[in-house]
Every structure is written in structure tokens, then in C-alpha cells.
Amino acid sequence: MSLFRQLAAPGSPGMAAPISCPSFSFSTTHADQANAEKHKHRDPYTLAQARQRKAANLARQEVLQKERAAALGDPIRGVTTPFIESLDNAESYGVTPMDSLSPQALTRADTETDISASDAASEHETHLNYFLTPSEVNRSLEYSYALTKPPVSSNRNTADPVMEEEHAQVHAGRHENAHRAISRIVSLATGNSKDRTRANIQRCVDVFGRHHTDKYLAPKPLPNVARDPSLPPPPEKTPRAGPDTGSSEVQIAILSAKIRVLANHLEGQGGKKDKYNKRNLRLLVHRRQKMLKYMRTKERGGARWQHLVQTLGLTPGTWEGEISL
């Protein structure tokens, strides 16, 4: 046997073992489907139908949103009321026109030195900056006017009426300037947002606190449950100590004041990029929604609920459905 045949023989030592290659199965199904989808989206008729369906869906969504907004109202602002407008207008919290403290009025009332006459203030008096009240400012101005008033000579024989009249006019002008300066200083119009928010919170406590509303609002209606006459009467509630700051209506009013501040800020310049305050607004709106649902269930449409909704301008959109901002 030749050398070539010995090497080519299967059992020969010089012949390498045969190499086995893995077999792959190829299919054109996926490629055909991809091409079909590709050609399908390129079809002008199909694209026109898709655009038409999308436009119809968007138009329908816009109509539904308008219908919901008209039926439920704005979930953030609700309806604008005089009380809500006063939260934005800081001028309404400034010192009220104190005509009784004008130099002419004080000159006419020189003989009346009773400073306590200005203590009669309204129940919900105007709030000023620096935790002051109008009655305190009035008393201070009256007291300063009395202290700085030029003395009048007891001996009228040697007194100079012209000089006394000049001194009285100078004193009146100085007091008027001081009155205007104090009015500007204590006015919340010159304060910052934190000062106005503090005053708004105090106003909410005064307007919606039960230490005031219990005097003129009827209590909530009793449930339609027959009570056994043999049972002892329910225990009386513990009398409230101090102003009411924790009732549902007060907390809802405070949240509404804070929500309006954040809403005005986000509508201003750069508000769209303020993600932090947008999240805070969402949290406050949802917290108010939960408290409104709770109060609506507890009060059962009573006088407190009606007073809260009408004063704050709340709409069903603030407590019904899902609120997405």
C-alpha cells in the first residue's frame, strides 16, 4: 500500500479526526413579518386613518375635560369669592383709614382724654404686620398725640394766642406725618409673603373657628337613629379653651390659602420649571380633598359645610373624582 493510501485510511495514525460543525435552521418568517409591518406603516391610507383616529380621540378628550371643568369646577381655585380675593390683595390688610385719629379730629376731641374709647373694635378686626391689631395702633397714636401736644399756658394774660396756634399747627403736621409712616410700616402691603400667609392663617381661624361660628351657625343635623329613652343622655362636650385652630373647616381654609399662594407662584415667570413647589401644590390639594370628604360625611350638608363652601368658593371638583395636576 502506498504512503498516500496509508495516510488516507481512517485508522491510520497520521489522519486527524473529522470535525463536526453545528447545523443551524434558517427561517424567513420574522423577516417577512417585519417587512410587512414596515410596508403597512408606509401605506398612506393607513397613516391617514391613524391620524384621523388620533385627532378624534384628542378632540373627545378636550370636550370631556371642558365638560368636567364646567360641571365640577376648578379643583385648585374653585370659584373666586370676596374672601378669596382678599387673601391676594395685601392692601386690604393695611391700616384702615383712621379718620378719628386725624389731627383735625384729635383737635376737636382735646377735651376727651379717654384713650380706652378706641378699644371697641369689630369681632374680626383687620390684621397688620408684626402681630399688631388696629386697636393697638390707634391707642398708641392717641397716646403719642397726647404726649407730644404743646402745653397751653395757664396764665391767659401773658399767653400769645398766635404763637400757640402756630405750635398746634406744627404739632398736627408732625403727627400726620408720623401717622402715615406708621401706617406704611405696619401694613402688610410692605411685608413679604410669609407675613401675608401668617395673617391669612389668622384670618381663617377668626372666620371659620368654631369659637365664633357656634354663635350664629346651627349645629349639624342629628342622624336618623331612634334613641332609647331609657338610656342616660350623652355626656356634654368639654368646653373649648382658646380659639379653634384644629377643626376641619379651619384646616381646609388654611390649606386653601396656601394652595392659592402656590398656584399664583406657579403661574408666574419660571413657575413651569419649579417642580418642587408643583409637588407641594399636589400634596396640599389632595390633603384638602381628603379633609373635604371627611367633613362632608360628618356635617351631612349642615350649616358649617354650607358656610365653608360658599365663603371659600369650593366646587365639587375639589373633593370629587381624581385630581391630577
Quick: pLDDT tens for 241-268. Answer: 888 899 999 999 999 999 999 999 999 8
Per-residue CA distances from 145 to 62, 119, 165 (Å)? 64, 17, 16
With a cut of 80, say whether residue 42 has pLDDT above it. Answer: no
Closest CA to 285 of 69, 87, 81, 78: 78
pLDDT in the model for residue 98:
42
Q: Looking at residues 35-57, what average pLDDT do you find?
A: 80
With a cut of 70, say whether residue 318 has pLDDT above it. Answer: yes
Task: Dig out the grid coordinates for 139 from the structure.
Answer: 391707642
Amino acid identity for residue 29 in this structure: T
Closest CA to 124 of 262, 216, 191: 216
Task: Dig out the grid coordinates for 210 from the structure.
Answer: 368654631
SS3 11: coil
Of the two residues 256 and 21, the one the predictor is more confident about is 256
pTM of the model: 0.65
pLDDT in the model for residue 18:
55
Query: Is the sign of the CA dihedral 115, 116, 121, 126 positive or negative?
Result: positive
Confidence of residue 64 (pLDDT cuts 50, 70, 90): confident
Q: Are 223 and 297 in contact (CB under 8 A)?
A: no
With a cut of 80, say whether residue 174 has pLDDT above it. Answer: yes
Residues 6+ apart with CB under 8 A from 303: 217, 218, 219, 220
pLDDT in the model for residue 111:
41
Q: Quick count: other Cβ atoms within 10 Å of Cβ 246?
A: 10
Task: Dig out the grid coordinates for 66 from the structure.
Answer: 371642558
Q: Are 10 and 2 in contact (CB under 8 A)?
A: no
pLDDT in the model for residue 53:
95
Q: Over pLDDT 70: what percentage of the chain? A: 74
Per-residue CA distances from 291 to 251, 288, 298 (Å)? 8, 5, 10
- Between CA 260 and CA 257 the distance in angstroms is 5
Q: Looking at residues 12-32, what average pLDDT do you find?
A: 55
Task: Dig out the grid coordinates for 174 from the structure.
Answer: 408732625
- Between CA 227 and CA 219 the distance in angstroms is 19
